[in-house]
Chain A
Amino acid sequence: MSAVKDPNLNDKNWTVKVRNRAVGALPPDKLLPDGVPAYVSSWIYVFGVLTLAALVVIIGSGTILALKGPGWWHFTGIGHFFNSIHLWSVELFFFVMVVHLWGKYWMAAWRGGRAGTWITGAVTFLVAVPCALTGYVSQQNFDAQWISTQAKDAMNSIGIGSFFNLTNFGQMYSWHIYLLPMAVVGLVGAHVLLVRKHGVVPPFELPSARAADAAGDGGDVVHNEAPLPEAGASATTTEGAPS
C-alpha cells in the first residue's frame, strides 16, 4: 500500500513541517557522519565521548540495581559488584565531564553559533549534581543517613527543604531513578544533536598563523589549527578520530 501525497497539504500538515525542519537541520550524513574534522585528533576531544560512555554504564548498572532492590545490592556478592560498578561509573562520569568542561571552556566552545551546545552541556552538569546527591542518599545505609542529615541543612538554608526532603527515601529515590535521569538523558541527547548540527568547535588559531593570514601570505607558517568554520560547515576529516 502506498500513501497518496497531496502537494497542497504539505504546508499545512504539522508532521511534514516538523519532518522538513528536522531533516533540514540534521540531514542523515550530518546526523551520522563517517568522519570528523582533522582538528579533532587530540586527546582533549576524547572526553566528551568518554562522558557518554560512562553515562551508558551508569544507566545500565542503575537499571539492574533498581530492578533488584536494596536487599540485593547490600547483601549479595553480585549485588555489591553492581553497586560498585554504579558508584565508580558515576565517579568516572564526573571526572571526565569536568575535563571535558575545562577543555571546552578554554577553547570557548560557544563560538560559531554554538551557544546552545555550551548551555545544554553546562545545564547537564548542574542537573547531574543533584542526580548524584539523590543517589548517595538512596543507598539505604549509614552513609546515606549521614549525607541526608547533613545535606538537608543546605536545602533548608535556601528554603526548599519542604519540597526537596533529603530524609524522605521515597522522594529521593523517585528523583534519583526517574526524574533527574530523564532530565540528564534528555539534555545529553539535545547536546549531542546540537554538536551534530553545529559541528565540533575548532581550536583557536595560532597568533603567528593569524598574522600571516592578515598579511595575505601563508608563507612557511604551518597552519596546525583550523580557522573557525561557520556552524554546520564542513571541514577536512580524519576517519576514526574521536568525536
Chain B
Amino acid sequence: MAAIFNLNHPAHTVHWHFFTMSVSNLVVIILTLIVFALAIAIPFPRHKATGSSATESSS
C-alpha cells in the first residue's frame, strides 16, 4: 500500500538566519498553536442541569 505522503527523500527544511527546522516540525508547532487558540476560543457545549447533583459541590 502506497504511503499518503512520499517520505522517501531527505527532510525539507526552513532556514532563517541561524534558525533551521524541518518543515514537519514547523507544521506540528503551528498546528499546536492553532489547537491551543481554538481550545480557548471555541465555547464548550453545555447541558441543562438536571437534578440536584448538577449544582452540588463534591469536594
Task: List the interface of chain A (C-beta within 8 A of B).
Answer: 29-30, 33-36, 41-44, 46-47, 95, 98-99, 102-103, 199, 232, 234-241
What is the distance, in angstroms, from A111's C-beta to the closest C-beta of chain B?
A: 17
Chain A residues with CB below 8 A from B36, complex form = 44, 99, 102-103
CB distance B58 to A234 under 8 Å? yes
When distances are taken between beta carbons in the complex, the residues of chain A under 8 Å from B53 are: 34-35, 239
Q: A35-B54, A237-B55, A237-B58 are in contact. List 11 more A-B contacts (CB 8 A).
A: A30-B59, A34-B58, A36-B58, A43-B38, A98-B32, A99-B32, A102-B36, A103-B40, A199-B59, A232-B59, A236-B57
Q: List 29 A-B contacts (CB under 8 A).
A: A29-B58, A29-B59, A30-B58, A30-B59, A33-B58, A33-B59, A35-B53, A35-B54, A35-B56, A35-B58, A42-B39, A43-B38, A43-B40, A43-B42, A44-B36, A44-B40, A46-B39, A47-B39, A95-B32, A95-B35, A98-B32, A99-B35, A99-B36, A103-B36, A199-B59, A236-B55, A238-B49, A239-B54, A240-B47
When A99-B32, A99-B36 are in contact, do A41 and B44 touch as well, CB less than 8 Å? yes
Q: Contact between B39 and A103 (Cβ–Cβ < 8 Å)?
A: yes
Residue of B nearest to A102 (CB): B36
Would you call B15 an interface residue if the criterion is a C-beta within 8 Å of the partner chain's C-beta atoms? no
Separation of A235 and B57 alpha carbons in the complex (Å) = 6
Given A99-B32, A103-B36, A103-B39, are A43 and B57 neighbors across the interface (CB < 8 Å)? no
